[in-house]
Amino acid sequence: MSLSSSLETRAEGLPPIGFPGLGALIVLVVGTVALGLAYGPAQGALFLIGGGLGIALYHAAFGFTSAWRVFIAEGRGRGLRVQMILLALAVILFFPALSNGVLFGTEVRGNISPAGIGVIVGAFMFGIGMQLGGGCASGTLFTAGGGNARMLVTLFFFIVGSVLATIHFDWWVSLPSLPPTSLFQTFGAFGGIAVSLAIFAAIAAITVVVEKRRNGALEQAPPSPRHGLARYLRGPWPLVAGAIALVILNFATLAIAGRPWGITSAFALWGAKGAQAIGFDPTAWAYWQQPGNAKALAGSVFADVTSVMDFGLIAGAMLAAALAGKFAPSLDIPLRSILAAVVGGLLLGYGARIAYGCNIGAYFSGIASGSLHGYLWAVAAFAGNVLGVKLRPFFFMEGRSIRRADG
């Protein structure tokens, strides 16, 4: 091999990242330092963890929305099976720590919420919104950060829907529900892990049966155009690698923040602050009179853990998109697609708030916490996705590029 070709081969692993990538890298470095100095090392570390989550989501194309849609529409279950791996690894790590109540000297608690009508209705709305908006909570952030201009529309109306839900939140909370219940509390840490793994294995087995009946054989992961270090720097990552990274980073969030990863409470906060800016008074709504929410509304968004991690996630996804050579925003968005983003965003935001979380806070972190509401959320959201898939043809020209690009 000649010297020039050798240098070219080495350079493949270190691509030029351009202005967006350089800007994202500077934001991650400067933001980590600045937040650490202003709000403490934990806040800086959580911002950086958010960046890592954005990189993992983007490079692995870890889409909850697309995985559910492909299974519903085509019977392909590879994405759902990887989600079961994600959840299995999470409960194995989380249950002992949550049962003990302390992790590395930090007091920890799970995302354990009441399971009731609000969760059913909210998760069903969220499921429809996933398919119309083109992403879930994490998908909206990482695809927006990766340069998807349409997802900025979804994100804006996600925020609007979130703050609208806080107006009625006390009414939804008053509806019948079961008290907060967790598998590790009911069965103990190891009993809860065993029950959880049995559930995940059963779901994975169902996807195998369905996929073989509808398609004859299981879908194989597509070959990667890159290998070795270049693949992990520029993507695409194997789905399982993405799942492992998300679990480790969520566990790090638990250790530092004292609770698992969440996304959408920050959207409600941003929307409430925006409402204040145009003359509304969110403090009159019961949701913002709760001590934790009132404190967040009165303070800076940079003091809010969820907001800081969301900002980091966007920057991390932008950096990953630049490394992959795919950061190329386009404003050429069909009108029906914009309409779908508006409706989907509103459903996502409103649904997430009244259901105590999204695909991350309720599904991933809720089930990682053993919460009954996380399982109820998953069932209701899946039903919403079924309806959402049926509605998509009105808004989209369905095709491979749209199907794979969603979060």
Query: Could you tell me which of 114, 172, 138, 148 has the C-alpha nearest to residue 312?
Result: 138
Per-residue pLDDT at 406? 57
Q: Please give the radius of gyration of the chain, using alpha carbons only, rounded to the nearest integer.
A: 21
Token pair in block for residue 173:
């909370």
Cβ pair 64, 130 in contact under 8 A? yes
Cβ pair 353, 125 in contact under 8 A? no
Q: Which residues contact 386 (CB under 8 A, 6 or more apart)?
A: 72, 127
Neighbours of 164 (CB within 10 A): 18
Query: Could you tell me which of 141, 172, 176 has the C-alpha nearest to residue 156?
Result: 141
Predicted model pTM: 0.92
Neighbours of 198 (CB within 10 A): 10
How far is 150 from 140, CA to CA, in rounded Å?
10
Neighbours of 156 (CB within 10 A): 18
Q: Which residues contact 364 (CB under 8 A, 6 or more apart)?
A: 86, 87, 90, 246, 250, 260, 261
How far is 18 from 320, CA to CA, in rounded Å?
12
Query: Could you tell me which of 351, 365, 372, 381 has the C-alpha nearest to residue 172?
Result: 351
Torsion over CA of 374, 375, 377 and 382, rounded to 10 degrees?
140
Burial of 208 (0-12, 13-18, 19+ CB in 10 A): middle
Cβ pair 350, 125 in contact under 8 A? yes
How far is 275 from 298, CA to CA, in rounded Å?
13
How far is 298 from 306, CA to CA, in rounded Å?
15
How far is 395 from 335, CA to CA, in rounded Å?
9
Torsion over CA of 379, 381, 387 and 390, rounded to 10 degrees?
-110
How far is 341 from 153, CA to CA, in rounded Å?
6
Give me the average pLDDT of each 10-residue run along the chain (407 residues).
Answer: 38 62 94 98 98 96 93 96 98 98 96 97 98 90 87 96 97 96 97 98 98 94 86 91 98 98 97 96 95 96 98 96 86 90 97 97 98 98 97 75 47
Query: Could you tell me which of 60, 66, 88 has the C-alpha nearest to residue 364?
Result: 88
Cβ pair 339, 395 in contact under 8 A? yes
Per-residue pLDDT at 128? 97
